[in-house]
């Protein structure tokens, strides 16, 4: 099934994308409202929460170019040294730009 | 059955504070949005269509993926599958906030979730790990991020030419650096470090061998399992209750 990208078609496609995204925004909470939260479930979701971040970043580093690796390394070092996210993020982005400019 | 008691009260002053707190991050989101606006117009979307997509979908990575699939015709099921796979991390993010969200009335709870996105979720989840309940950042922070995403898209579709190659400025790394900074800002116990290792290995395996865009969920669930089997020391008296699963 395909939709032509006429005006009405594009509106339909955007509506489909918005609905699917809404299902993901609502779905996790909706399902949880039927579960009883035992300490074990709570431990599961707490650990999962920080694992989401790692699961996004690690493949990014492995599939990325030298700029990506520089960005993530510099962010790590700056964050561990200063414990402030904003300088860490800025330094990381600057590192990516610099490495890509040089190489 | 527990009787619902909606004890969490959102404080409007704190919502404003969180709006201001995430303002600096939202500047990066403007740049990311501009990159999307440019990509969208280059793949044939009209400016207003790109804007409408940013306003209603508000999920950057999936919007970029959609522009890759754009043509004179778009296949519906592959589009839905890609959008769902990329955004399925929201399912886990929402679930992780549930212990707080259950104390809100359903109307407010789902209203807040309209603005759920990576950055404001990461702040809220991190605060929760540190013992602070902060749903205001979902609302106030989400609002500033949403506005930034719209403004960025608008800039990108009309002035995208100024930003021909966002990658050369490192702008593709905004999300990655942000996520990493958030993860490193949390508490790091041996349990967390083991979970991170498992999450990293599982996400890499999924990235290599499973369908595209499933690695975030695979890694996060694998990390969560570490938490499921390895409880923090304090709830010892609750161990018997957890045995049935």
pLDDT of residue B125 exceeding 70: yes
Model ipTM? 0.90
Verify whether the Cβ–Cβ distance A72 to B222 is below 8 Å.
no
DSSP string, A11-63: HHHHHHHHHHHHHHHHHHHHHHTTS---HHHHHHHHHHHHHHHHHHHHHHHHH
> Does residue B235 register a pLDDT over 60?
no
- Residues from chain B that touch A94, judged by Cβ atoms under 8 A, are 170
Is 90 exceeded by the pLDDT of residue A24?
yes
Nearest to B210, CA basis, from B219, B89, A62: B219
pLDDT score of B194: 96
Tell me whether A73 touches chain B (CB under 8 Å).
no
Dihedral over Cα of A29, B86, B119, B19: its sign: negative
Chain A residues close to B221, C-beta within 8 Å: 48
Q: Give A-chain residues touching B220 at CB under 8 angstroms.
A: 48, 51-52, 55
Verify whether the Cβ–Cβ distance B129 to A46 is below 8 Å.
yes
Range in A52-66, A70-84, B98-112, B221-235 the model is least confident about: B221-235
Rounded to whole angstroms, how far apart are CA atoms A76 and B173?
Answer: 13
Contact A54 B223 (CB under 8 A): yes
Calpha distance B194→B188 (Å, rounded): 10
Instruction: Check whether B221 has a pLDDT greater than 90.
Output: yes
pLDDT tens for each residue of B143-198: 999 999 999 999 999 988 776 777 888 888 888 898 899 899 887 889 999 999 99
- Which of A15, A55, A72 best tests the B interface by mutation, with the highest count of B CBs <10 A? A55
pLDDT of residue A1: 87
pLDDT of residue B236: 47
B6 interfaces chain A, CB cutoff of 8 Å: no
- pLDDT band (50, 70, 90) for residue B242: very low
B70 touching A (Cβ < 8 Å): yes
Is it the case that residue A80 has pLDDT exceeding 80? yes
Q: Can you read off the two tokens belonging to residue B40?
A: 């969208």
Q: Is the pLDDT of residue B55 over 90?
A: yes
Query: Any idea which residue has 């603005």 for tokens?
Result: B115
| DSSP at B211 | P
Residues 37-56 of A with CB under 8 A from B: 37-56
* Residues A58-72: tens digit of each pLDDT: 999 999 999 999 999
Q: Which residue has the higher pLDDT, B2 or B151?
A: B151
pLDDT of B240 higher than 50: no
Task: Tell me what pLDDT residue B234 has.
Answer: 60
- Is residue B223 over pLDDT 90? yes
8 Å CB contact of B71 and A48 = no
Give the confidence band of B2 by pLDDT, cuts at 50, 70, 90: low
Measure in Å the smallest separation between the Cα of A63 and chain B Cα atoms. Answer: 9
Over 60: is that where the pLDDT of B1 sits? Answer: no
- What is the chain B residue with the closest CA to A20? B84
Question: Tens of pLDDT along B80-118?
Answer: 999 999 999 999 999 999 999 999 999 999 999 999 999
Hey, are the CB atoms on A51 and B241 less than 8 Å from each other? no
Which residues, other chains included, contact A65 with Cβ-Cβ below 8 Å and sequence gap of 6+?
A100
Please judge whether B170 and A2 are an interchain contact, meaning their C-beta atoms are less than 8 angstroms apart: no
Residue B216 has pLDDT above 70, yes or no: yes
Q: To the nearest whole number, what is the mean pLDDT of chain A?
A: 94
pTM score, two decimals? 0.88
**Residue B74: φ, ψ to 5°:** -125, 130
Nearest CA among B34, B45, B62 for reference residue B154: B34
Taking contacts as CB-CB distances below 8 angstroms, the residues of chain B near A101 are: 168
Q: What is the pLDDT of residue A83?
A: 92
Cross-chain CB nearest to B88 (options A17, A24, A44): A24
Select from B195, B77, B208 the least CA-distant residue to A20: B77
- Please state the rounded mean pLDDT for residues A5-13: 95
CB atoms within 10 A of CB B133: 12
CA pair distance B18, A2, nearest whole angstrom: 42
What b/e sequence results for A80-95 when a residue is b if at least 16 CB atoms lie within 10 Å of its CB, and e otherwise? eeeeebeebbbbbbbb
Q: How far apart are CA B183 and CA B93, in angstroms?
A: 14
Report the pLDDT averaged over residues B40-49: 94
Q: Structure tokens of A43?
A: 């431990």
Specify the higher pLDDT residue, A48 or B237. A48
Instruction: Using an 8 Å CB-CB cutoff, list chain A residues near B49.
Output: 10-11, 14
Please judge whether B207 and A59 are an interchain contact, meaning their C-beta atoms are less than 8 angstroms apart.
yes
Give the best residue of B173, B174, B203, B214 to mutate against chain A (max A CB count within 10 A): B173
């Amino acid at each position: 099934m395909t939709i032509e990208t006429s005006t009405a078609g594009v509106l339909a496609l955007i509506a489909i994308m918005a609905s699917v995204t809404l299902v993901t925004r609502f779905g996790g909470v909706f399902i949880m409202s039927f579960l009883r939260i035992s300490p074990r479930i709570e431990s599961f979701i707490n650990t999962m929460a920080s694992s989401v971040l790692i699961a996004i970043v690690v493949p990014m580093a492995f599939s990325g170019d030298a700029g990506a690796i520089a960005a993530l390394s510099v962010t790590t070092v700056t964050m561990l040294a200063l414990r402030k996210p904003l300088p860490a993020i800025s330094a990381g982005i600057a590192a990516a730009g610099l490495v890509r400019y040089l190489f | 059955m527990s009787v619902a008691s909606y004890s969490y009260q959102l404080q409007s002053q704190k919502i404003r504070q969180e709006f201001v707190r995430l303002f600096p991050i939202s500047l990066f989101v403007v740049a990311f949005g501009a990159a999307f606006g440019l990509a969208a117009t280059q793949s044939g979307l009209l400016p207003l269509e790109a804007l409408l997509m940013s306003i209603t979908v508000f999920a950057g990575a999936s919007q970029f993926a959609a522009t890759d699939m754009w043509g004179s015709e778009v296949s519906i099921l592959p589009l839905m599958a890609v959008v769902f796979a990329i955004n399925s991390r929201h399912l886990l993010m929402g679930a992780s906030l549930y212990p707080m969200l259950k104390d809100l009335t359903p109307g407010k709870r789902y209203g807040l979730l309209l603005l759920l996105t990576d950055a404001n979720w990461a702040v809220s989840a991190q605060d929760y790990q540190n013992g602070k309940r902060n749903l205001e950042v979902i609302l106030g922070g989400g609002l500033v991020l949403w506005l930034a995403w719209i403004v960025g898209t608008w800039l990108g579709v009309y002035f995208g030419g100024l930003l021909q190659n966002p990658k050369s400025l490192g702008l593709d790394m905004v999300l990655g650096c942000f996520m990493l900074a958030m993860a490193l800002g949390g508490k790091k116990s041996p349990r967390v470090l083991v979970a991170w290792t498992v999450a990293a290995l599982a996400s890499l395996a999924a990235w290599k061998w499973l369908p595209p865009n499933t690695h975030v969920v695979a890694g996060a669930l694998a990390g969560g399992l570490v938490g499921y089997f390895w409880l923090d020391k304090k709830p010892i008296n609750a161990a018997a209750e957890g045995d049935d699963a």
